[in-house]
Structure 1
């Protein structure tokens, strides 16, 4: 089957001002704006932290917010859960900050969060999670940070009771490098952590075990490293799509950035402590004790998104693979937004704030992994597909020639029409169906193709 978009290549691989041909002789300028986050992302406490860290500095507020969300989702722990079907979701996030070296201000984006953590520990250290900044190299090394206890010689090493672990990977390329080594199971372990699955020993000789881990991760990487090191394995095994990938670079140039006043840091730490006290994050032995729920308005909003953009089909390339987990990620984000309001009910405004993050992540992934020319092709396919859907809703059914002549007035090429029809046929679930029939007049030629809207 012919692919909708013939090739997916990193957006930074081609010169930014080259012209690309769309297949019909029309040239498209291969440049576009970098994605910018909607202000709706900066909700409540998360937004206040972001604004405080970006004021008077070059640091992108969205990057600060993403790191704070990863930290807060870790500190909250496994006590809070949201049941969806038979799955219990915890507010556990992996965030990946993508930006060019020297322009992403990736180190600065985590600095304020670390200062808030220090202030929080000074107030009540029991609420603060464990932080690991030394880099991850193996599954065994990760398990050792939150193990269930083991025997070393004649000595029993006691278990680490608090399973909350915030991993800060300032050089996320290291994790991708480790995943390429034969026999290294770090990426599989991180997948299990995102899912909340027990980390069992990888070999018979290693008896380290970690039950009910609550690991959250903040990573940073340049776009060239990300596209160069991300292998097909990471795309197909579900490792990459567990990360909320956001593009964020400096928004201004300031030779002398200002420091966030300590009084502001302590105020933000007190508000963070209120959230952690609300969820009883200090009770490490109590898991799944605080149930969250969606309000009727939030349920309706999420259902509309789930039937729509959360399951938009981006083809079978890198973008489709990287955006596969948008729905559960949105729920985790919405949980976090509600908790910052000190409530266990997720309302419509929490869904909206989480949706803004998902949209920014979607735009970021497409910006990094799809060239400008391919982005334009995909946009055209989606536009033509919507026109076909509207046409079929009005007519009920139509042949291939009727779609060409009546829907597009004969002004759209066969290749573009075929691409739009294929997109609708391979959507999940399919939006249209095609049936082959014999020509009514018995005339020779290929059988008629009749297209109809798919039944719900």
Structure 2
């Protein structure tokens, strides 16, 4: 499709547009697809232009007039993930629809347009796609005449129905598979109870000793006797800080894509007395004592996550505009003018002591924080449109430390953030006060200076651009654990651990750099696996009773309150 440009004169490429109308075909809003699978919503401003906000606009399903007609005629309606897929099925004579903005953005109000319909939900072949399909099916229960979930056979990882059709399959095959798919039965209260453990999980067992490896383990051993902070909190935050200060230099390669040592960690305590902030102060002080870490500690740490645009601004590229020349050069071609010099050091470690706050912000309509954080973890290419000018960032090296209590997390974390992949880019780690030290403690000054010198030497090594591959022994271990790391898991546990293999590789890279090793050895991989195992146990503890569905969770809560029956 030939690229077009938006109607605001901003020059941003729009590679496709999808119009959402009411039942009578009147335009309500439009979704624009931009390069890199980025999407924006806009609505007519009444003067031939577009407003990039949907305040007060009714949200509807895509191709709603055709959906309404199909429901009345008792023809099946296919719900897919994305307008491209819906258009592809429509081109074959099938009635297909989707919700705006993709996986995790389904609203119960959309189900009303499918009341009485025979619905076939086709998920994309990845964890967010399957979670989204479950959400849609649950929303349609009691409204649609029938609901069938159709997992397409032979679909590659992350593939969709368009990929399936492009592989040579036909509409007739799709219709036959849809008829064969069993109807989705509503989940009963008894089934919910049977699927859940009878007792809340115990506090997770601590990480295996292998996690406290090398330089990072030495730091924990030095600080632990002198602080009430959990050793896990010190370890995890030091790994994040070191990976952030190392910058975008050392890397490993997966499928021709480079991965760098930036990590996201959120420490989850039972209460505000978990000494999460204390552990960060210890880590920051150690980093600041090393010459190579002092500038990072002073200039590359920040707090206050509130918007994606604000995060991009903190690591922005130079901003340029083309302007007509003035004076004697007037009338010549436009010239490029730098209107903002940008940020030269793209390292940023965001430390959010009240992580509940950004979680609340992410639920606001139009807030881009979740999407930008996901992009920062992935490849460091960030872009957004601010009110007055364009800001973007390339090669951004963003790391994250968050602190939150379990109650706050369960209250603020939504199934949307679980389904869209934000949650599985984070290592969720349970921490609590490890001991009582009424007067605090003071690490040995000489040992602290020696440790700071070791940190400096490791950072100088880590800042040398190089690929850091596996040793043969580490590779053999990787092949052994890979099937378990990539296995599908049900519910929120599966959604929040879906990037386990990537998390292990990044952690192993940081452990190797801490040892000043040009390769990832078996002991580095074992350390990473030990910490990721603890992260999985933490997720089981934090979200163990949650099914990811508000109705199901409420049924389960009432069952636990009335074990003798309702």
Change in Cα spacing, 1:56 to 1:28, as seen in structure 2 (3 Å) is same
Change in Cα spacing, 1:204 to 1:371, as seen in structure 2 (3 Å) is closer
Q: What is aligned with 2:425? A: 242
* Inter-partner Cα distance in structure 1 for 2:203 and 2:320: 56
- After TM superposition, give the deviation of residue 31 of structure 1 in Å: 5.4
Contact 1:129 1:165 in 2 (8 A): no
Of 230, 248, 271, the match for 1:60: 230
* Inter-partner Cα distance in structure 1 for 2:341 and 2:287: 26
Of 280, 283, 294, the match for 2:470: 294
- After TM superposition, give the deviation of residue 101 of structure 1 in Å: 2.0
Q: What is aligned with 1:171? A: 354
Within-5 A mapping of 1:423-442: none
Which ranges in structure 2 are unaligned for 5 or more consecutive residues?
Answer: 1-120, 122-130, 135-189, 324-336, 548-566
* Deviations 1:9-37 (CA, angstroms, capped at 9, x unpaired): xxxxxxxxxxx99978xx95545343322
Q: What is aligned with 2:537? A: 363
Contact 2:264 2:426 in 1 (8 A): yes
Of 299, 303, 311, the match for 1:142: 311
* Inter-partner Cα distance in structure 2 for 1:110 and 1:79: 24
Change in Cα spacing, 1:34 to 1:151, as seen in structure 2 (3 Å) is same
Query: What is the TM-score with the length of structure 1 in the denominator?
Result: 0.70
Q: What is aligned with 1:69? A: 239
* Inter-partner Cα distance in structure 2 for 1:292 and 1:255: 44
Query: What is the TM-score with the length of structure 2 in the denominator?
Result: 0.57
Change in Cα spacing, 1:34 to 1:343, as seen in structure 2 (3 Å) is closer
Of 268, 280, 302, the match for 1:133: 302
Contact 1:60 1:249 in 2 (8 A): yes
* Deviations 1:49-103 (CA, angstroms, capped at 9, x unpaired): 1222221221111110100111001011111111122221111100111112233
Of 273, 284, 309, the match for 1:114: 284
Change in Cα spacing, 1:258 to 1:291, as seen in structure 2 (3 Å) is same
- The number of residues matched between the two structures is 348
Which ranges in structure 1 are unaligned for 5 or more consecutive residues?
Answer: 7-19, 282-288, 374-456
Contact 2:250 2:463 in 1 (8 A): no
**Relative contact order: is structure 1 or structure 2 higher (C-alpha 8 Å, sep ≥ 6)?**
1
Contact 1:30 1:372 in 2 (8 A): no
- After TM superposition, give the deviation of residue 166 of structure 1 in Å: 0.9
1:278 aligns with 2:461: yes
* Inter-partner Cα distance in structure 2 for 1:35 and 1:138: 36
Contact 1:132 1:167 in 2 (8 A): yes
- Counterpart of 1:200 in 2: which secondary structure? strand
Q: What is aligned with 1:434? A: none
Change in Cα spacing, 1:261 to 1:33, as seen in structure 2 (3 Å) is same
* Deviations 1:266-299 (CA, angstroms, capped at 9, x unpaired): 3222111111111336xxxxxxx31111011111
* Inter-partner Cα distance in structure 1 for 2:434 and 2:412: 27
* Deviations 1:108-127 (CA, angstroms, capped at 9, x unpaired): 11011111122124x67456
- After TM superposition, give the deviation of residue 204 of structure 1 in Å: 7.2
Q: What is aligned with 2:143? A: none
Change in Cα spacing, 1:184 to 1:356, as seen in structure 2 (3 Å) is same
* Deviations 1:137-196 (CA, angstroms, capped at 9, x unpaired): 111211221211236999843221111111111111111011011111011111111012
* Inter-partner Cα distance in structure 2 for 1:145 and 1:22: 45
Of 173, 179, 204, the match for 1:34: 204
Q: What is aligned with 1:157? A: 340
- After TM superposition, give the deviation of residue 328 of structure 1 in Å: 0.6
1:231 aligns with 2:414: yes
Q: What is aligned with 1:252? A: 435
Q: What is aligned with 1:48? A: 218
